[in-house]
Chain A
Amino acid sequence: MSVQMHLGVLADPSRGSEPVDIRGEDPGALRAYLRKMVLIRRAEEIIGDRVASGEVRTPCHLAIGQEAIAVGVSASLRPTDRVFGAHRSHSHYLALGGDLEALFAEVLGRDSGCSRGMGGSMHLYAGHVGFLGSVPIVAGTVPLAVGAALAARKDGRGDIAVAYFGDGAAEEGAVHESFNLAALWKLPVLFVCENNLFSSHLHISLRQPGDRVARFAEAHGMEARTVDGNDVVAVARTVRELVGRLRRGEGPAMIEAVTYRWRGHVGPREDDDVGVNRSRDLVLWRRRDPVRRLADAMASARLLDEESFAELQTQVAEEVRDAWARAEKAPWPPREALLSRVYWHGRGQ
């Protein structure tokens, strides 16, 4: 069997702007996907605006344009699953149901932040919904997810682990060691690669001999699927099937979701960031907007009209604005926090 190295049309921005295929999907679930994607987008837009204005200083990597992946993945997860993220994880956190105000407070460095103001945008935590942590060391959490899967199997309740990582992370040895271990021990871990074709300023063609990351999972005999990452239904369907296998103990799996980030690598700028001008492709990728494509499909199926979509957006915008206003008023962490959390034993609160 020869290795399929390339993504082909999935990576072609002039393709795939049509409404997503929602046949057979539950209308309530579709409405929930739409709302969550709009929430993530609006939340990241306000964060981006506040980075631009200087109010937020912690480095923020925005996933605007990539919302469908976290939303589609989270639809099959439960709070006892164990999810790990990376530097671009606002969407992972919010899609699982992480608290909006606590996210805002965290990027503002407040005591009420989801990591108590110790971590900023790149270190998020929401244990109660299964989000066990995100960190900016590329691929840093991938082996941890493998260990969480090992623990889940020992626990024997059918829980699974999820490792979100990017196409760039697939260049780290840690990912390949993790694939081998997970495959060898048949661990219930879902590797979710958000392939947005870039690692900071470098397009994947300058970093890898092929642009299809799923090939690495296949090389370990893992079940792997490559899907349109801007199609929330395709992601959700694929993950539903893979998670079923994982919960039944059939070994690890990978989903590679092909997408594109609309903003710069870090910060709010649109196309001119870290020395790369991507404006031509960005215009095309915007037509593959995951939010618009779902809304259009729902409109055609008479599940949504312009008015109710506008109302949903207004509601979300208000929710975001209110959460931001509350987060801004939150107190700063106390000075003792500098030392009181280094060791668990004898910690302060």
Chain B
Amino acid sequence: MRRLRYGEAIREAFMYLLDHDPKVFVIGQGLWSPWYVGSSMTDLDKLYGPERIMDSPVSELACTGAAVGAALCGYRPIVVHPRMDFLLYAMDSIVNQAAKWAHMLGGQAHPAVTVRSIINRGGEQGAQHSQALHAWFAHVPGLRVVMPATPEDARDLLIAAVWCDDPVLYVDDRWLYELEEDVGDVTVRSLAEESPKVRRHGTDVTLVGAGYSTRLCMEAAKQLTLDGIEAEVVDLRVLNPLSIEVPAESVARTGRLCVVDGGWRTCGLAGEVMASVLERTGPRVMRAAPKRVTLPDAPAPTSRVLEEAYYPNVDTVVRAVKELF
């Protein structure tokens, strides 16, 4: 065991992949700048050279499409989008092409491409530099979506994503980069077998999150003990395909559910989790109507006073959970 930060864990995953797999290369904006992608890729260009760490023009569509094409020809490229907002130019390559390729061509070919997309919000950046659109992508069959919440997952799920034979959207979050935890050695996992995990055991209520929202759930759970509430925290980890067994089994025991998500409310991840859990458990186990904590259905503002009200925080989660009792 050793201590590792989330941002550095991502960097270790890149190094592991580049060391172990000559078919891996990386394209994206900012890869030669120490500033663009936080601590998560520092100096990789110096270690592996510009042929494998390719900084790119401002061309999200062409870069993503090119990665899909190279993947169809046997490579395992990773495209990096320093902000999820930028990747909207690349929607076609991801949604129409990569996600559907295997299915629409009769299961004969498959792009093993990884699209890494960073949620980068706050700091008065506003409507086009703040979005967390993971739920949109989790809606698309054929596209695996992972959202790590811990340093160990940040590392091991990136490795699993790249070595997965399907296209994967890997979503990390700048708000997690400084999170430091104990990690073991690299474990090579098959992404298809990864599912939600209970991060904290409790008996009174189930909190479900993914990525940064899992951290909010963990912090809220700590605070809730002061009120005598023992919360169980489930970290989804993989949003698509969504495996509902672990959260449903937890809710069957606790009888209460609060889903926390950094995306919008309507047609979002939180609603999907609530529906899937309830379909599985039936209404009778529920001791209270389920709750969700999400962004309000509005674009991100800039002014600090509005930004403070916009993003859910630990207190928002604690308050929502208390209303279940």
Contact = CB atoms under 8 A, between A and B. Distances in A.
Interface string B298-325: 1101111110011000000000000000
Contact of B306 (A174, A201, A333): A333
Contact of B303 (A109, A137, A208, A274): A109
B57 A199 contact: yes
Interface residues of B, number: 38
A208 B57 CA distance: 7
A120 B300 CA distance: 11
A173 to B, nearest CB: 5
Majority-rule SS of B interface residues: loop
Given A202-B32, A339-B298, A57 B304 contact: yes
Given A58-B125, A275-B34, A117 B301 contact: yes
A137 B128 CA distance: 7
A135 B128 contact: yes
A134 to B, nearest CB: 11
Interface string B86-128: 1011000000000000000000000000000000000111111
Interface in B270-290: none
Interface in A167-189: 168-169, 171-174
Given A57-B123, A117-B301, A171-B59, A337 B306 contact: yes
Given A173-B59, A173-B89, A335 B128 contact: no
A168 B85 contact: no
A338 B59 contact: no
Contact of A200 (B30, B34, B299, B305): B30
A126 B86 CA distance: 26
Contacts of A173: 59, 61-62, 89
B35 interface: yes
B62 A338 contact: no
B62 to A, nearest CB: 7
Nearest to B55: A202
A58 B123 CA distance: 6
A342 B60 CA distance: 28
B36 A201 contact: yes
B185 to A, nearest CB: 31
A119 interface: yes
Which of A119, A120, A206, A273 has the most chain B CB atoms inside 10 A of its CB? A120
Interface size bucket, A side?
A: 35 or more
B128 A333 contact: no
Contacts of B125: 58-59, 120, 122
B203 interface: no
A208 B205 CA distance: 56
Nearest to A105: B303
A56 B85 CA distance: 23
B216 to A, nearest CB: 19
Which of A119, A174, A206 has the most chain B CB atoms inside 10 A of its CB? A119
A201 B35 contact: yes
Contacts of A57: 123-124, 304
Contacts of A120: 124-126, 302-303
A216 interface: no
Contacts of B88: 137
Contact of B126 (A119, A171, A273): A119
Given A136-B129, A274-B33, A332-B303, 15 more contacts: A57-B304, A109-B306, A119-B127, A137-B86, A137-B128, A138-B58, A168-B58, A171-B58, A173-B62, A201-B33, A201-B35, A201-B36, A202-B32, A208-B57, A275-B33
Query: Lowest 6 CB-CB distances: which A-B pairs, in order?
Result: A109-B303, A120-B302, A171-B57, A117-B303, A58-B124, A201-B33
Interface of A: 57-59, 109-110, 113, 117-120, 122-123, 135-140, 168-169, 171-174, 199-202, 206-208, 273-276, 332-333, 335, 337-339, 342
Interface of B: 29-30, 32-36, 55-62, 85-86, 88-89, 123-129, 296-299, 301-306, 309-310
17 contacts: A58-B125, A59-B125, A109-B303, A117-B303, A122-B128, A123-B302, A137-B128, A138-B86, A171-B57, A172-B60, A199-B58, A200-B29, A206-B55, A273-B35, A333-B301, A335-B309, A342-B297
